[in-house]
Amino acid sequence: GSLWEQYSAKVAERMNNPRHFGELTAADAQRLGGRLVIANEGAESCGDTVRLYWIVRESDERILAATFKSFGCGTAIASTDMMAEMCIGKTVSEATKITNLDVERALRDTADKAAVPPQKMHCSVMAYEVIKRAAALYRNVDIATLQDKDIVC
Ligand code: FES
Ligand code: FES
- 143 confidence band (pLDDT: 50, 70, 90): low
The answer to whether the CB of 121 is under 6 A from ligand 1 is no
Identify the pLDDT of residue 149.
Answer: 44
**Which ligand 1 atom minimizes the distance to the CA of 48?**
1
In order of their start, the domains of the chain are: 3-152 (3.90.1010.10)
With beta carbons less than 8 A apart as the criterion, state whether 106 and 88 touch.
Answer: no
Q: Which atom of ligand 1 is nearest to the CA of 120?
A: 2
Residue 87 annotated as binding? no
pLDDT digits (tens, 9 = 90+) for 50-75: 999 999 999 999 999 999 999 999 99
**Predicted pLDDT of residue 99:** 92
ipTM surpasses cut 0.85: yes
Mean predicted lDDT score pLDDT of the chain = 91
pLDDT tens-digit profile of 71-117? Answer: 999 999 999 999 999 999 999 999 999 999 999 999 999 999 999 99
Residue 46 CA, ligand 1 centroid: distance in Å: 6
